[in-house]
Amino acid sequence: MAWETIADLLGGRVTVGAEVTVKGWVRTRRDSKAGLSFVGVHDGTCFDALQVVAPGDLGNYATEVVRLSAGCAVECDGELVASQGKGQSVELKAAAVRVVGWVEDPETYPVQPKRHTLEYLREVAHLRPRTNTFGAVARVRNCLAQATHRFFHERGFYWIHTPIITASDAEGAGELFRVSTLDLVNPPRNPDGTIDWSQDFFGKQAFLSVSGQLNVETYCQALTRVYTFGPTFRAENSNTSRHLSEFWMIEPEIAFADLRADADLAEAYLKSIFKAVLDERGDDMAFFAEHVEPTCIERLERFVDSSFERMTYTEAIAHLQKAGRTWEYPVQWGCDLQSEHERYLCEELCTTPVVVMDYPKEIKAFYMRLNDDGRTVAAMDVLAPGIGEIIGGSQREERLDVLDARIDGMGLDKRSYWWYRDLRRYGTCPHAGFGLGFDRAVNYVTGMKNIRDVIPFPRAPKLAEF
């Protein structure tokens, strides 16, 4: 008998009348003393469960079938038949139900067939994928990841595997996790008492990468269109619903391109992966719309059909000053946009994602290209309702003299960037790119409020149990 997935059985890809085997985990059991039981079986291949009808004349009916509880692993053989009941089109008329793995203490099985809080489920992260919510998140997350690779592949981008261990805090993008094999209790020391990093594994200080951007720029300057997609690490003591210590970032980089082309790419990319979710994960999105965020489907549909609002930083400041309200953080040209400002722009003023471009150079990174006005850089942030900054990008400074002036001006050491500066010495060209917080994108799509609930095993301060 062929082993079929529940997605294929419920999706009409197996003909009614076929003899099949199904393997999965029990969600619910309802007994009919008329002599049969209904067992809801999930295998995670789609949102819905398969109803397995177990007749009372099965050899193990009294001894095993009626003892099935949530979480048990089973294999069921039987005929796929049209359902007599409501709620499902087809069901499995079981000829055999084999219990592969029992739940040893049903009373304390952490995932009961009832509503659990997301906070509680975080404490049982090894079992939460068995719930409707986390199964749906996992499938949508995968859909977004596959759609990401498809989007870039179809446009001639190459996926570059940038390193996870890096020897320099190149970007200055935050606190770093140190990678070291030195003895913490008794490290080798220099004559002046400081730690002698030359004796460490890499012969110098090393850290987990906070961004693949600087590395991927080198491949951009050879392969034209490239991107990274991998884990990124920040050791900041951030305790919020939108920060993780380990998160996944997508960073495309395009040569012979300016900031406008960069914004165009960001918009096309987001629309593409959101459309994939609408096309491929209707079952899961229907669940999110019903139980998590009622507007999540129409929000995506509107997103795919409309265009981003675009404004300059200077225009954004003007909008905020005209908003007719007092801000906790006063608004004036030159200040960084705070959460309350970003929220107003995308949630109230536009009610759509907004691209803010051309920020003051003082509040942005050294590698962003200086505009002709001499006071702004070609940077952009894409702000999404409910999430905040989902994309940060820029056109890169391709002129060596300007780049050097920026490095000096920010008090950085040019020698640390020798290979990055080399790119400007050998065939430099305009180029641009952005970083997308993948997990934040999953939040936006699903309507899930906390970033710890859209990554399988969240890492955050004091959180690394699983």
Partner RNA sequence: UCCUCCGUAGCUCAAUGGUAGAGCAUUCGGCUGUUAACCGAAGGGUUGUAGGUUCGAGACCUACCGGAGGAGCCA
Please pick, from the candidates 14, 23, 43, 83, the single residue that binds RNA as defined by CB under 7 A.
83
| Residue 34 touching RNA (CB under 7 A) | yes
Q: How far apart are CA 344 and CA 350, in angstroms?
A: 8
The residue count for binding RNA (CB under 7 A) is 76
Choices 114-122, 270-278, 314-322, 412-420; region in contact with RNA by CB under 7 A: 114-122
Which is closer to RNA, CB of 431 or CB of 452?
A: 452
3-state secondary structure of 241: coil
CA end-to-end distance (rounded Å), the chain: 37
Please pick, from the candidates 247, 269, 308, 444, the single residue that binds RNA as defined by CB under 7 A.
247
DSSP 87-134: S-SEEEEEEEEEEEE--S-GGG-SS-SS---HHHHHTTTTTGGGSHHH
Q: Quick one: tokens of 268?
A: 């096309």
Please pick, from the candidates 30, 150, 153, 414, the single residue that binds RNA as defined by CB under 7 A.
30
Q: Where are the alpha helices (DSSP H) in 281-416?
A: 282-291, 296-305, 313-321, 339-343, 400-409
Site map (CB under 7 A) of RNA, residues 201-220, x = contact: ----------x---------
Q: How far apart are CA 213 and CA 391, in angstroms?
A: 13
Choices 134-142, 269-277, 409-417, 449-457; region in contact with RNA by CB under 7 A: 449-457
Closest-CA residue to 284 (of 387, 145, 132, 147) = 132
Please pick, from the candidates 17, 86, 184, 326, the single residue that binds RNA as defined by CB under 7 A.
86
Please pick, from the candidates 1, 32, 101, 456, the single residue that binds RNA as defined by CB under 7 A.
32
Please pick, from the candidates 21, 60, 88, 352, the single residue that binds RNA as defined by CB under 7 A.
88
**Interaction residues for RNA, span 307-346 (CB under 7 A):** 329, 336, 338-340, 342-343
Please pick, from the candidates 85, 191, 374, 411, the single residue that binds RNA as defined by CB under 7 A.
85
Q: How far apart are CA 214 and CA 228, in angstroms?
A: 11
In the complex, least distance from residue 60 CB atom to RNA, rounded to whole angstroms = 15
Which is closer to RNA, CB of 116 or CB of 399?
A: 116
CB 26 within 8 Å of CB 41: yes
Please pick, from the candidates 70, 136, 137, 356, the single residue that binds RNA as defined by CB under 7 A.
70
In the complex, least distance from residue 383 CB atom to RNA, rounded to whole angstroms = 9
**Interaction residues for RNA, span 391-410 (CB under 7 A):** 391-392
Name the residue type at position 315: E
CA atoms within 13 A on the CB side of 54: 30
Choices 116-124, 267-275, 299-307, 349-357; region in contact with RNA by CB under 7 A: 116-124
Choices 56-64, 279-287, 318-326, 457-465; region in contact with RNA by CB under 7 A: 457-465
DSSP 299-323: HHHHHHHS--EEEEHHHHHHHHHTS
Name the residue type at position 48: D
Which is closer to RNA, CB of 430 or CB of 433?
A: 433
